[in-house]
Structure 1
């Protein structure tokens, strides 16, 4: 069973399962994160997102990191997973997000993010643990900070 973070599912609400991949990108004592701000739901996030049909998780991870940060990554390694139940306003969708978390090495910035409303930011791992927008992301950033 995959650990759940966040809100309890609403009774009677139908949720669509959405598998996704997300990554911790450490450099020294900092993490590369993405600031998402569409003017309605600003949030600090681990880079990543949904896996497209027919796409492998690692391919999705590379694509999502590039889209949200403009960075290339290397050596992704799976470190865990969690799920959370949430409403995704950008898709008008109630989702059971199944989030697989990786750790990878940021290799090179190729340019700005190509996905709208995203901005790549470096911040201390300790600050990320406090500011990431969901408790699952904060949990895995905290494990990273603790050296696990």
Structure 2
């Protein structure tokens, strides 16, 4: 059973399952997060949806690069959680199945290519409060022990 974080399931609402991969990128006492400006400005773990036919680890590398501009080295799978949410950019009610990996930022290759995203180094103590969803915050707390 994968733990649910965030808003409760809306009775009668149909949700589309959307698997995704996300990274906790630690360097010292900071993490590399992404700040997404739209639709609601928030800090997030970098990552996103796995495209049809794509494997999780290549999807993680692609998504982190798009959202932060960084090349990463994946260390290990940390865990997974579910979120039931409306995704306005896709006009979709989604059951997001979020698998989170510990990874290491290797090299900045350039700016994020994903529109509206900015790579931000956050102190981990600040990130525990500022990440935009409770699943991201819980996974960071788990990573920190």
Aligning the two structures, in what range does the TM-score lie when normalised by the shorter sequence? over 0.9
Counting only pairs closer than 5 Å after superposition, residues 1-148 of structure 1 correspond to structure 2 as 1-38=1-38, 40-145=39-144, 148=145
* 1:142, distance to aligned residue in structure 2 (A): 1.3
In structure 1, runs of 5+ residues without a counterpart are: none
* 1:41, distance to aligned residue in structure 2 (A): 1.0
In structure 2, runs of 5+ residues without a counterpart are: none
Q: What value does the CA root-mean-square deviation take over the aligned residues?
A: 0.8
Q: Is the 8 A contact 1:58 1:76 kept in 2?
A: no
Q: Is the 8 A contact 2:74 2:101 kept in 1?
A: no
Instruction: Count matched residues.
Output: 145
Deviates most, 135-144 or 58-67? 135-144
In the TM superposition, structure 1's runs of 4+ consecutive aligned residues that sit over 4 Å from their partners are: none
With the length of structure 2 as denominator, give the TM-score of the two structures. Answer: 0.98
* 1:144, distance to aligned residue in structure 2 (A): 2.2
- Aligned equivalents of 1:36 and 1:55: distance in 2? 24
- Aligned equivalents of 1:92 and 1:43: distance in 2? 19
